[in-house]
């Protein structure tokens, strides 16, 4: 028997589309509700108290409206701050996004890894814990960039963005002590994989970029492995929490991810 309950992906903006791309690969017929909390964007410059209050409440409303089988918090900032709060509030499987420090430490040859996230993410004790647990023999450099989040949003809308802005974001890691030996950068914000090619293009030497999207897709497939899916993919829904002027570029990007219905919470 087919089961039409969707998977709900949640982010402050378009960053979660980098996670959706991987989820769709593994589960092509999964009905998708993608939520961009543009009313709360950006998260990375907010306080812990603001995120902890906003995200569980919003996801509660969304779960009531869309009745998902599983929620993916496709946002490092929301996950590192509010994952426990969301799990406590909702009786649903919740998959979070955490900085991919473990795979980075497994791959780094120089034992210097960079964590590029939002300002809010890079200061979280969650990052300290991951570093202590999986990268205790590495130097872990961190840099928070609100500018890179804006660049990813603009780039997805099809607007031109200058190379120098990407170089500045990377310099936040490279210019730190030990940055000259860094060989791997953890893209610890779901917006950043959307512009990984731009970062790679301005890097002064080859750097490896890692993110958590594939792991999230695998976890989602595992948690839903005994469930039924529709025989054909239903049109995906993009939900915005505030009025948005949908540019043609954004509309096309959403449609490219199967999100052809637009709704407002």
Q: Could you give the residue numbers annotated as active site?
A: 75, 189
* 41 binds ligand DGL per the rule CB under 6 A: yes
User: Do residues 40 and 118 make contact, with C-beta atoms less than 8 angstroms apart?
Assistant: no
Size of the site for ligand DGL (CB under 6 A): 17
Q: Taking CB under 6 A as the criterion, which residues in 242-261 touch ligand DGL?
A: none
42: contact with ligand DGL by CB under 6 A: yes
Work out whether 18 is an interface residue with ligand DGL (CB under 6 A): no
Q: What is the 3-state secondary structure (H, E, C) of 178-198?
A: CHHHCCEEEEECCCHHHHHHH
Q: Is 189 near ligand DGL (CB under 6 A)?
A: yes
Does position 149 interact with ligand DGL (CB under 6 A)? The reply is yes
The candidate with the shortest Cα–Cα distance to 75, out of 46, 95, 101, 102, is 95
Say if residues 114 and 54 touch (Cβ distance below 8 Å). no
* Helix H or strand E segment including 34: strand 32-36
Q: 197: Cβ–Cβ under 8 A, 6 or more apart, which residues?
A: none
Position 193 contacts ligand DGL (CB under 6 A): no
- The strand pairing partners of 188, in sequence order, are 117
Please identify which residue in 31, 51, 108, 118 interacts with ligand DGL, judged by CB under 6 A.
118
Pick the piece of the chain touching ligand DGL (CB under 6 A) from 12-20, 52-60, 159-167, 212-220: 12-20
Q: Is 190 in the site for ligand DGL (CB under 6 A)?
A: yes
Q: How distant, in Å, are the alpha carbons of 12, 62, 95, 187, 200 from that of 145?
A: 15, 29, 24, 11, 16
From 60-68, 167-175, 189-197, 240-248, span contacting ligand DGL (CB under 6 A) = 189-197
Q: Single out the residue of 38, 77, 145, 220 in contact with ligand DGL (rule: CB under 6 A).
A: 77
Contacts with ligand DGL by CB under 6 A lie at 11-13, 15, 41-44, 75-77, 118, 121, 149, 189-191
């Amino acid at each position: 028997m087919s089961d039409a309950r969707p998977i709900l992906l949640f982010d402050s903006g378009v960053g979660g589309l980098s996670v959706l791309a991987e989820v769709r690969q593994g589960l092509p017929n999964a009905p998708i509700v993608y939520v961009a909390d543009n009313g709360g964007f950006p998260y990375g410059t907010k306080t812990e108290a603001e995120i902890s209050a906003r995200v569980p409440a919003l996801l509660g409303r969304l779960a009531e409206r869309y009745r998902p089988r599983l929620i993916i918090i496709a946002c490092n900032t929301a996950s590192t701050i509010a994952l426990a709060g969301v799990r406590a509030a909702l009786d649903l499987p919740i998959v979070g996004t955490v900085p991919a420090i473990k795979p980075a430490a497994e791959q780094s040859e120089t034992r210097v890894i960079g964590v590029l996230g939002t300002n809010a993410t890079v200061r979280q004790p969650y990052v300290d814990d991951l570093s202590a647990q999986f990268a205790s023999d590495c130097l872990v450099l961190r840099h928070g960039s609100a500018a890179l989040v804006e660049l990813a949003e603009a780039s997805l809308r099809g607007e031109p963005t200058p190379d120098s802005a990407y170089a500045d974001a990377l310099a936040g890691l490279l210019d730190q002590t030990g940055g000259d030996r860094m060989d791997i950068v953890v893209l610890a914000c779901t917006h950043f994989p959307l512009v990984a090619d731009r970062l790679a293009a301005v890097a002064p030497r080859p750097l490896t970029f890692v993110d958590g999207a594939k792991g999230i897709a695998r976890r989602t497939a595992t948690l839903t492995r005994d469930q039924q899916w529709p025989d054909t993919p239903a049109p995906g829904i993009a939900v915005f929490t505030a009025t948005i002027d949908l540019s043609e570029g954004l509309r096309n990007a959403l449609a490219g991810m199967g999100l052809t219905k637009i709704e407002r919470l």
